[in-house]
Structure 1
Amino acid sequence: MKPSCRLYRRLPRHDSQRPSAVTIGNFDGVHLGHQAILERVRAHGLAHALAPTVITFDPHPRAFFARRTGRPEKAPAQISTLRDKVQEVVRHGIQQLAVLRFDERLSSMSPETFIEQLLVEGLNTRWLLVGEDFRYGHKRAGDIELLRQAGSRYGFEIETIADVPDAAGQRISSSNLREALAAGDLDRAHALLGYPYRLTSHVGHGQKIGRNIGYPTLNQPVPERFALRNGVYVVKVHGLSERPLPGVASLGVRPTVTDTGRRVLETHLLDCDLDAYGKLATVEFVRFLRDEEKFPDLPTLIAAIDDDARRARDHFAFHEL
């Protein structure tokens, strides 16, 4: 059984002086490149009696700077919710996870202070794994050489890791994953992640329109700049039953029934009606069916949903759940 993980929202730690094997990154999506990093940290930590540790940030630093400069459209699309990211990182054997709020204080921290407060005082770092182009501190002024100098002074070792390629020799990156999701290319996303793309969030109340037209839905919020393409998907829903439940889901702004412009994920469970309000559900995206559309009236919308549900049933008739 894997050891439990301690979650920290600020450093230094309040409950431990244990020496740590550390890596730093955003880990949005936790793709195969990230997983190689996590495995290296886990293996080194366990081999040297160090706590395998990740430092990550919320929000994404680029999202913070995009908002601060009044250009929110420059923020990277968000691949995973914080909950999904944490769960995936922990699944790979990480024993300490520091989720630090990226704010004005952190963005203006000098590289030297970054090393001293987060790595040395914060985690008693003895070994640090970073990418070859890793930058940190105010205006990204810190580099690998400064880390090596600090390591000699404070007693920690630096190891760098090169990019991880996919089967075709292409670099595995969050940017490539965002491109696949923006295109609704779930096969490519699966290949980059090593697992099916999914989203976990609590089920909330909707406008009950789906129930009124014979298609009750689970309504779940998505990140403001969610990476996945708007549209209709064949899905599996986990967490509401002992077995995955088949469904068809619509991601988008629901242009036929509302003009709020707020994106939401609405999932209709096939041949299953249950009260899931307030429960945590994971929607696994299986197949892209079509783009979101604005229909002239409800009968036309219902006819389209009928066809979506039929196609989802056909999918599960040929593929085991």
Structure 2
Amino acid sequence: MDETESGERPKGPQPRATISDVARRAGVSIGTVSRVLNKARNVQPALQRRVLDAAAALDYRPDSFAQGMRSKKTHVIGVIVPDLRNPLSSEAVTGVEEELTRQGYTFFLANSRYERGREENIINEFARRRVDGIIAILARDRDPRTVEQLHRLPMPVVLLEREIGNEFDAVRTDQVAGTYRATRYLLALGHRRIALVTVPTDNMSGRYRLQGYTEALTDMGVQVSEELVRMGGYTRDYAVDAAYAVLSMREMPTALIVSGGMLSGVLDAARQLNLAIPDQLSLVALGDTELAALMRPGITAIRYDWAETGRVAARLAISRIGGSETPPEKVIVPYEFVRRESCLELVAAG
């Protein structure tokens, strides 16, 4: 405990030490502290002693829900998604449900609406109800408060379409390769001003889509134009505004790549501007949906097997509940390119 310069203990309640404080004092990662405190068997004795000494020096006490380790399994898993209206999230949940049902589990489903406070409350409620595990599509996977909260949990966590270093099991689609493929396809058709409308980079999907887009343009010697990249929101309304702004430019893009869940917003913006697809705007969706398939013309898409990501995540969660202590796994589910009629060749390829 800290003391004042006079050597006396400061009066009044002192801030409670956190798992981050222990990690800093011991000079290790939060994940290592979590493994030591949860008595994992794959921690070196010297490292274990450093963590325990640091915890003792700081008088660290885990949250009450982390102390109440379950005496028996509930055969219930908590599932968190950021937007139930997104058809791609719904597919992932369907996959989770299929696998959990097959293995005799049920689940609680909660919608965070991309709100950090709401997500925090959901996680705490799942812990209070003592679910056996949690499968989460986090609103943001770079929020340190979220990371710390997950490390305090007494049950396994599997991330879906998100990553936090190598600290948790994670299942994701290949967003880098899929976006790279979409961009190269448009470049091969002669497009050079290609816009990107997708989610922000504070979650994995946005970061990897931007990476794939940037790498494809760079590989073809095309300069990345920041004015053509819109990554500021998650909703359909955001997509409408972002697409309207970029398509209203004096030198508008000839092609646009959009998150599958935002496709309807981009189509609305194109309609408002009386832009014909593909004659005036070529369009590719990152994630195939019924809307993409049923539109006329049909929308070319990168198809991800979201249901399979859900099934894999459920299998991983059940394996951890059963006592698996192997290092955290990362599973990447491949994509499929679906060519439809929404892209126009500007010049002969090659």
Same-fold call, TM cutoff 0.5: no
Task: Give the number of the structure whose residues are more often strand, by fraction.
Answer: 1
Q: TM-score normalised to the size of structure 2? A: 0.28
